[in-house]
Amino acid sequence: MRIVALAGGIGGARFLRGLLAAVGPQDEITVIGNTGDDIHLYGLKVCPDLDTVMYTLGGGIHEEQGWGRADETWSIKAEMKEYGVGPEWFGLGDRDFATHLVRSQMLTAGYSLSQVTEALCVRWNPGVRLLPMSDDRVETHVRITDEQGTRAVHFQEYWVRLHAAVDAEAIIPVGADTAKPAPGVLESLAEADVILFPPSNPVVSIGTILAVPGIREAVAAAPAPVVGLSPIIGGAPVRGMADKVLAAVGVEATAEAVALNYGPDLIDGWLVDTADEHAVAAVEAAGIACRAVPLLMTDVEATAEMARTALALAEQVRHGA
């Protein structure tokens, strides 16, 4: 079975770990990773979502945080602070710095982000084929109004420095409209047996991937069933600020509203948590097969069961059940 998943950061990475536990060694998983969260810091190219997937599946993630390296130290960050070089609000640990140094050196030498990601994965052996959504520069920005007036800030500043405490007025994937899908992205979607939308942020993770011209169209045209898992449980995001960015695009923070925002032209199946069982009828009325199952990723086995259910729903959709 050839499975393609569109993934953002922590939620996507943890779901993928469960997916790996749910499938057999003969199955192939391709992950199309969001690069809209990418940012340049200290002269280095930082790819938070790609790295979170790579570290999580490769056994190097800080489990409690869900991001960054395990057993991290912070000597470089402390030295940068002494020099008065920021930003102080974004923490890069010493081990993490090494990844960004290698990536930046390779990019400067002329390698594409796809080639760099493949090279980095040789060390981590994540068990999936990890592809950036695009080799072109795309950065998600958020329009806000605060004491400085109305302005656009990088998504990382909105989330990490401001903690999403200010309302998001608009989400702008800068550069997405002229970006091209990375090599292998469209081909993997066309050849997939199943396409999955993990419980990643539907606006700034999966939504940014879909904003790259050709990707949304390839998902919609793919012969494979497309099944998503709700990141909203009981009217609130499991983690993160999905409610803030959903409001910015005029979508209510409910499992039903997120499904309808994707729409039946894009997804064929949708899983909601048992707490949102009341949403099943409305989602199915829109032409999307829907099931209510436990969606809290409490451990790898619980997550694997979520993945098995998503694959089973895809099979039911395929056979018109």
Confidence class for position 109, pLDDT limits 50, 70, 90:
very high
77-98: per-residue pLDDT in tens? Answer: 999 999 999 898 998 999 999 9
**Which amino acid type is present at position 293?**
V
pLDDT of residue 239 exceeding 90 = no
What DSSP letter does each residue of 165-225 carry, written as one string?
-SPP-EEEEETGGG--BPTTHHHHHHH-SEEEE-SS-TTTTHHHHHHSTTHHHHHHH-SS-
pLDDT of residue 60 exceeding 90 = yes
Distance of CA 196 to the CA centre of its chain: 12
pLDDT of residue 41 exceeding 90 = yes
275-285: per-residue pLDDT in tens? Answer: 999 999 999 99
Confidence class for position 221, pLDDT limits 50, 70, 90:
very high
Residues 6+ apart with CB under 8 A from 277: 292
pLDDT of residue 321 exceeding 80 = no
211 conformational bin, left if phi > 0, alpha if psi -120 to 50, beta if neither: alpha
- Asked whether the bond before 87 is cis by omega within 30 degrees of 0, the reply is yes
**Cα–Cα distance measured from residue 158 to residue 66, given in angstroms and rounded to the nearest whole number:** 19
Task: Using DSSP bridges, classify how beta strands 139-146 and 149-154 pair: parallel, antiparallel or unpaired.
Answer: antiparallel
- Mean of the pLDDT values across residues 36-45? 95
- Mean of the pLDDT values across residues 295-319? 97
Of 266, 297, 210, residue with least CA distance to 34 = 210
Percentage of the chain exceeding pLDDT 70: 100
The Cα-based distances of 272 to 173, 198, 256, 276 in angstroms read: 27, 12, 8, 6
pLDDT of residue 320 exceeding 90 = no
pLDDT value for 131: 98
What tokens appear for 223 in the block? 């012969």
- Mean of the pLDDT values across residues 138-165? 95
